Amino acid sequence: MFSPLEQFLVLPAGTLVLPWVGPNEWLFLGSNFLVQLGLIFSVLLLMVPFFLRRDIALYTTGRLLVLSFVNFLSGLFIENFPRKGFQFFPYIFFLMFFLLSANMFGMIPWSFALTSQLAVTFMLSFVTFAVAVVLGFQTHGWFFFSLFLPQGVPFILTPFIIVVEVISYFARLFSLAIRLFANIMSGHTLMKILAAFCWVLCLNVSLLALLPFSIIVLVTGLELVIAFLQAYVFVTLTVIYWNEAVFLH
């Protein structure tokens, strides 16, 4: 029996034997991780003409979808970061597109889910956290540390509250990464287990296979919703953390 966690292994996408070097020598041609990453960036490059061309003839369904996506993100950004910082919007656009594409491509059978790798989600979370700290110091200097001491706290509780607030603030770095990683990994693992169970019943020509198959269909629909929601939550929390660093509330 194969483990349902095997789908998360980073494996070579292909190798090329070098006969002039030796029969056991081969050239590494990348991995499933790099293939999925290249696919996402290729789709992003295909979207560039929709931004560079402004003639009316290009207002096709594809361009309308891209513009709707941009308007959706700009509304989210303005709602949570209203007064300054719009220079960060290109990163927010890229972040949302990357997460949404990675989650959706990961739903394709025999594909690879980038966001099921903790290293990927942690790196994105680290960028969010680092930018928030830099913005805080750039805007307020050492007064940024007032974020860890809410107003009206009794003096005797000040050391305890500061420790709790600092721990809570740094916990964001891990919670933001683990939330996305855990949801994607658990969902794909559940689908793999149900698919294996359904396959065993089908081999036995059992009508009971219809039950897990119907569950797989429902879980797949749920995972598609989760794929969008997790990308949306990650981006929303990113903007909120930056807003808090700039305005200290």
Three-class DSSP labels, 155-186: HHHHHHHHHHHHHHHHHHHHHHHHHHHHHHHH
- In this model, does residue 93 exceed pLDDT 80? yes
Query: Residues 6 or more apart from 37 whose CB is under 8 A from it?
Result: 114
What backbone torsions phi and psi does residue 12 show, to the nearest 5 degrees?
-60, 135
According to DSSP, the residues that pair with 12 across neighbouring strands are 31
Instruction: For residue 15, give both structure tokens.
Output: 């190798």
Helix, strand or coil, per DSSP, at residue 149: coil
What backbone torsions phi and psi does residue 28 show, to the nearest 5 degrees?
-70, 125
pLDDT the model gives residue 26: 45
Helix, strand or coil, per DSSP, at residue 17: strand
What residue type is assigned to position 157 of the chain?
L
pLDDT the model gives residue 206: 61
Mean pLDDT is lowest, of 76-85, 125-134, 137-146, 193-202, for: 76-85
In percent, how much of the chain has pLDDT > 90?
6
Whole-angstrom Cα distance, residue 240 to residue 249? 10
pLDDT the model gives residue 208: 64
- Per-residue b or e along 208-247, where b marks 16 or more CB atoms closer than 10 Å to that residue's CB: ebeebbeebeebeeebeebbeebbbbbbbbbbebbbbbbe
- Cα Rg of the chain, angstroms: 23
pLDDT tens digit sequence for 47-58 = 766 666 555 445
Whole-angstrom Cα distance, residue 94 to residue 106? 18
Taking the CA atoms of 152, 155, 161 and 166 in sequence, report the sign of the dihedral they define. positive
pLDDT classification of 27: cutoffs 50, 70, 90: very low
pLDDT tens digit sequence for 156-194 = 877 888 888 889 888 888 999 999 998 888 888 888 887
